[in-house]
Amino acid sequence: MHKLRTVFLMALLGVVSLATQAQTTLRLNNSHLQVEWKASPQGWQIQRVAVLKGEKWNNDFTPSGEYTLIYSEEKPSGEAARGFEKSTGGKFPEDNYHLQQEQWKESTTAVALNTAGKAYHFFPSSGKQLGKNHIRFVSETDVATLTTDWKLDEKYPTDVLVTQTLTPKKKGYFSAASPSVATLPDQKMGWASVPGYFQGNYLQDNFAKAYAYGFGVPKLPVIYRERTASTLAPLLSTQSEVTMTVIPEPGLARDPWEKNKITQTKWQVGLSHRNRKGQLSPTLYYPVLGEYESGREAGQELSYNYRYSLVDGDWFKTLKHAIYDIYKFKEGLELRQSKQSLTSRIEQMHHYLTDPQTSLWNIEEFEGLKIGAQSYLGAVVGSQKDAMKNSDYGAMWMLAHTTQDPDLTQNVIPYALNFKLTQQQTEPGFFQGAAIGQYYLAKRKKFVEEWGEIVEPMAVTYYIMLDVGNMLLFEPENKELKERLRLGAENLLRWQKPDGSWAVAYDHKSLNELFQDVADYRPTFYGLLVAYRMLKDPKYLEAAKKGADWFVKNGVNRGSFLGVCGDARYAPDFATGQSAQALLDLYDITKNETYKDAAIKAAKIYTSSVYTHPIPDREIKNVNGIQREDWEIAQAGLSFEHGGIFGSANRTGPIQLASHAGLFIRMYELTGETLFADMARAAAIGRDAFVDHKTSVASYYWNAMNRGAGPFPHHAWWQIGWITDYLLSEAELRSKGKVSFPRGFITPKVGPHQTYGFAPGTVNGEKARLVISEDWVKINNPSVDYILAEAVDSNKRFVILLNNRAQPTEFNITMAQRSPVKKQLPAWGMEVVNFE
């Protein structure tokens, strides 16, 4: 009996012990993730965060579980809280950067710098396990009660779902931060990013470099707006490549076009790589103090959802989880349907560009030559609405060559060539070989740069090396163009620094180096690669490799890129995507794997310049008096001109100029990474809501909707260029190389698309030349694009058909006045038909 009593008492004590343990320890565990809370005098604290990596549990993150609630009785000020200086000293940004001044002010308020209001830091006072995978914590402060429900996601084992409910105890403005599940010491960081704003693997001491340019990770716990956050997922990776992010539930962030008006700048969600205390920990702020839903009465409850993801992989794997699994990028792509084929747009823009009235084509006398260019009605220092500019010389020569249209060959090409020749300084001196300006001012009869009296080495690469190089592909025996290319190459050699880099710019008068607070993290080296390909001098290849080596080491591998738009003070932009193609082209010549790896890395980073939110749907919206379905005007799939703090995307949204589409198709072919193909197609297909139906020219900025070229008529050439690059890249991919045409050089400035049509390619083993003609074929379904070619050695004509949508497509094709033939292509399918 005594023995039985002893056993009973021991069992009873065990039950009591288990009950006590249940009250002091709470857990969320699955096959991938372990999170454990323990009760302490300070409240419920996370004691363990572990992620299964391979066969071992990784616990590199430091557990925390601390909550932060920010409160203010009054709405915070919208004025800048403090100023910052350049790393070289002096005000940042300078007074002549008017748009950047305004955006910098918005980005340095106390709210943005995360110093506004009173911060309450605490651990929950009570916790309860409501089920195996469900825990509820309640926290009390002087100003509000915060109830937080944590659940493991049954579909995605990497994720913890959180529902947070804020109940104010008094009137005021509130902002709740997502709890810091874990933190990471700065010295243990492997990679950090708020996509669209910055990415990198090093800390930056100078705030302006980090905040405005993304040159390193900011040390301050700044709060970023969703308006240029490409993917709503601040990311933090350890050096062992375990990544943590926090992702708001779809619909929590702003919709850039709510029903009947633009709401691009509305601020609903704040994102940061650090918590309020400055510790590295991906953090979501909702509401944002003083913004939407922040002002509340006592008892006015607010509930919202988000999730944490802890992934056994790098930042890119984690980014794809947010893009595909949470923000349904693939489903958004499946909605896209074209109302006008891309091929038709090229044909119609051909007419637009050969009409001087619609294309704003001008011919002026300069230095004894007649020079031709299109009016440029955007901002140029010194312009009196008389600025002129040409854009894509490769597309110009391609269209003239493939159409043999005398309106181009006689009325455009000769004068555009003269414009290019007079744009370069040939006289001896410091600037010999350089482009003396992008723009020609007709009234002042001088070439100027966009934003001051400066000359950039990058402009030599763009407006001499690339333009002249692309013309030489069509005119390989043109001795004058070869000499001009040589002059440009020698300029780049003279200006290259001993470490392989270049200055950002030089003052045109004093010759002093400018913008020494930033570095030339751009593919300036590419101009020398062009020189090597066309002039065959090995010294140019050696200098190109030296420049690329510096750029890869200091720029690409660290996540740092400089932009090419002077009016935006070189905020990072589409030159990041251009860098990937430049490095791929260098790899093609050298077969050095370092350049291929760097190209892939740059392309992956450039996916962070593509919007992936909100999720497109079929909601009807009124867009400037036109009824549109939401997917028709969706930002998801479109890229920035420039994003971040300074970029145009803050106000105008993304752009329609999808120069990266062809590159991303090539990257998909190279890597098998489907995100590249999906992003290329989302940018290219079904964007008719932004196309002017009279001219087939797309608007540049998203907020312009279908207003057409506007002040940028020269953009039509770039549009022809990127569409051609995209279609031919798709044809090569889908045919597994059986349809292939030689690629030329990258276009200047706007991205990585390349030139075609200067040499025959192959179609199913036969040599063939590209042709653009409206007479060969008629197709009755705009989802089907086509490419035309003619055999070099026979009378055979080829029609390369591309079904550019995610569903099978039936259509009729009529060739050479014959009877229509009914056909069907599978989703993203292709077929080559031929006739004589």
Nearest to 597 by CA among 665, 548, 529, 659: 548
Do the Cβ atoms of 784 and 801 come closer than 8 Å? yes
What is each CA distance from 333 to 512, 686, 725, in whole angstroms?
Answer: 49, 9, 20
550 residue type, one letter: W
Rg (CA), the chain: 29
Phi, psi of 72 (to 5 degrees): -145, 135
Task: Count Cβ neighbours within 10 Å for each residue of 280-302 and write b for 16 or more, e otherwise.
Answer: bbbbbbbbbbbbebbbbeeeeeb
777: left (phi over 0), alpha (psi -120 to 50) or beta: beta
Nearest to 569 by CA among 648, 507, 457, 651: 648
What is each CA distance from 831 to 666, 738, 820, in whole angstroms?
Answer: 19, 11, 16
801 vs 731: CA distance, rounded Å:
8
Q: Return the HEC string of 585-637.
A: HHHHHHCCHHHHHHHHHHHHHHHHHECCCCCCCCCEEEECCEEEEHHHHCCCC
What is each CA distance from 240 to 59, 292, 335, in whole angstroms?
Answer: 10, 38, 38
Please write the tens of the pLDDT for every residue from 52-92.
999 999 999 999 999 999 999 999 999 999 999 999 999 99
The three-point CA angle 104-110-113 to 5° equals: 70
Give Cβ neighbours of residue 303 (< 8 Å, ≥ 6 apart): 163, 164, 165, 166
Residue-level pLDDT at 368: 93
Strands 43-53 and 33-40: antiparallel
**Torsion angle defined by CA atoms of residues 192, 194, 199 and 202, in that order, rounded to the nearest 10 degrees:** -40
Q: How many CA atoms lie within 13 A of 321 on its CB side?
A: 25
Nearest to 456 by CA among 417, 492, 493: 492
Do the Cβ atoms of 777 and 814 come closer than 8 Å? yes
Please write the tens of the pLDDT for every residue from 701-731.
999 999 988 888 999 999 999 999 999 999 9
- When the pLDDT of each residue in the chain is averaged and rounded to a whole number, the result is 95
- pTM value? 0.96
Residue-level pLDDT at 17: 37
What is each CA distance from 41 to 26, 371, 403, 463, in whole angstroms?
Answer: 16, 80, 80, 67
249 vs 495: CA distance, rounded Å:
50
Please provide the DSSP assignment of 330-373 as one string: HHHHHT---SS-HHHHHHHHHHHHT-HHHHTEEEEEETTEEEEE
- Tell me which residues of the chain have a pLDDT lower than 70: 1-22
Please write the tens of the pLDDT for every residue from 287-340.
999 999 999 999 999 999 999 999 999 999 999 999 999 999 999 999 999 999
The number of angstroms, rounded, from the C-alpha of 471 to the middle of its chain's C-alpha atoms is 29
671 vs 553: CA distance, rounded Å:
22
Count of H-run helices and E-run strands, the chain: 21, 43
Residue-level pLDDT at 253: 98
Q: Which residue has the tokens 């920010």?
A: 70
681 vs 679: CA distance, rounded Å:
5
- The two tokens of residue 415 are 């004068």
Give Cβ neighbours of residue 227 (< 8 Å, ≥ 6 apart): 254, 256, 264, 265, 266, 267, 649, 650
Nearest to 704 by CA among 780, 653, 761, 635: 653
**Torsion angle defined by CA atoms of residues 277, 278, 283 and 289, in that order, rounded to the nearest 10 degrees:** 60
Residue-level pLDDT at 302: 98
Give Cβ neighbours of residue 293 (< 8 Å, ≥ 6 apart): 268, 286, 287, 302
